[in-house]
Amino acid sequence: MLTQTPKGTKDILPIESYKWQYIESQIAKVCTNFGYKEIRTPVFEHTELFQRGVGDTTDIVQKEMYTFLDKGNRSISLRPEGTAGVVRSYIENGMSSQPQPVKLYYNISAYRYEKMAKGRYREFHQFGVEAFGSKGPSIDVEIISLISLFFESLGLKDVGLNINSIGCPVCRKAYNEKLMNYFRPSLEKLCGLCNNRFERNPLRIIDCKEEKCKSITSGAPAILDNLCGECKEHFEGLKKGLDNLGIAYNIDKNIVRGLDYYTKTVFEFISENVGTQGTICGGGRYDGLVEACGGPSTPAIGFGLGIERLLMEMESQGVPIPLPQEVEIYIATIGEIADTYAGKLVYELRKRQIPAEKDLLQKSLKAQMKYADKLGAKYTIVLGDDEIKNNKATLKSMKNGEQIEVALDNIHEEIINRR
């Protein structure tokens, strides 16, 4: 066990980490272009925050959180998602007094004790965006367009957008009564969890993944057909805004968020790729969440996107990820004097932002050249006493074998000119 990762976790090795760095750089670019600033919150929070922020009737809180008592006998949980911690920070740091909307993004690790599946881990990584203070549909359109451009920047294709509205507390009250009347004759056929949801939150029954429940919920009344005037207007504004930007979408009446503080817009980006069909990211408005966590009444919207799921999708679609910058020059040495000189030369090259390497294991010249090839070095030079004495060496291209004589004190300019 000492030399094995805990179940549900994995090492991200150097042969993969460049892919993560690329995704992270694209996240930073698109968020900066949209005016979103990065926020970093603690890995763990007080358990009560997630009970309120995620919902104590959800599977996440009831079954999947890593919860423990700390040495002060306080109940602490590892974050199972990003939104609750950001909402807590918004309240605690008085961000409601800042110019609105407050636009934030994060790239975090999160933790859930759930069943293992392809692309699903107990420690996973999530890119998310949260925007506070904007009530109208314009911010909904902006966030959806941010995701759309992010996918476009990565080269992802075959990704469809599904949207829905789940109304507000006003229209949901009447809608819940309709749902209960619909499900009541079928309670014995529903799973135990859905029976528990029936009284507490019947909307969540529609989100059940059990096949026996899905067959029953397929005929349930849709909340989109039971919206109040304000929610209808908001949804029409969302559609109009997406149409204006040329962002295609489908209306999916089965997308729900079963918690009371989620309101109006909900959306998902779904893979239409045959090999990996499923949700890539999802989000929606949660106009009641800040208030539920003890803050002022604040309209808000956000989304979460799993990085593991995204990388799996990119691989399935054959989307190329640029390889990391390779070693530009490897300096092979013969003798102790040359090795000392090479140490200084490599340092000077690196100062000039030129990736350079030299022997560190006292290998033979033949072994050094083999190593340079494995590193993917663009160029090599061999240093001995004569090269140092004459301040000249032969620069060799590892790609085509071309060789030219260069001055050692000017080698950096030669490499830069050849880029």
pLDDT digits (tens, 9 = 90+) for 375-399: 999 999 999 999 999 999 999 999 9
Q: Fill in the amino acid letter for 91.
A: I
The contacts of residue 376 (CB under 8 Å, 6+ apart) are 326, 327
Q: Could you tell me if residue 199 is inside a domain?
A: no
- Same domain flag for 347 and 285: no
State the CB neighbour count (10 A cutoff) for residue 335.
Answer: 12
Position 203 in a domain:
no
Residue 417 has pLDDT above 70, yes or no: yes
- The domain boundary, picked from 294, 317, 340, lies at 317
For residue 356, what are its two tokens?
């350079």
266 and 347 in a single domain? The answer is no
The number of folded domains in the chain is: 2
- Which residues have CB under 8 Å from 55's CB, separation 6+? 61, 258, 259
Ordered DSSP codes for 58-73: SHIIIII--EEE-TTS
Same domain, 308 and 342: no
363 in the same domain as 241: no
**Residue 338 scores a pLDDT above 90:** yes
Report the distance separating Cα 89 and Cα 197, nearest Å: 30
Residue type, 15: I
Q: Tell me, yes or no, whether 344 and 310 share the same domain.
A: no
Using alpha carbons, select from 235, 234, 262 the residue that is nearest to residue 87.
262
Q: How far apart are CA 155 and CA 320, in angstroms?
A: 8
Q: What CATH code is carried by the domain that includes residue 364?
A: 3.40.50.800
Question: Domain span at residue 67?
Answer: 14-168+228-317
Identify whether residues 135 and 280 lie together within a single domain.
yes
Q: Quick one: which of 324, 381, 395, 326 has its CA closest to 355?
A: 326
Distance, in Å, from the CA atom of 401 to the CA atom of 292, rounded to the nearest integer, reads 68
Residues 154 and 120 occupy one common structural domain: yes
Query: What average pLDDT does the segment 352-374 reach?
Result: 96
Name the strand (E) or helix (H) holding 162. strand 159-165
112-160 per-position pLDDT tens digit: 998 877 778 999 999 999 999 999 999 999 999 999 999 999 999 999 9
Residue 331's H or E segment, with its range, is strand 329-333
Please, what is the Cα angle at 270 between 266 and 272, to 5 degrees?
155
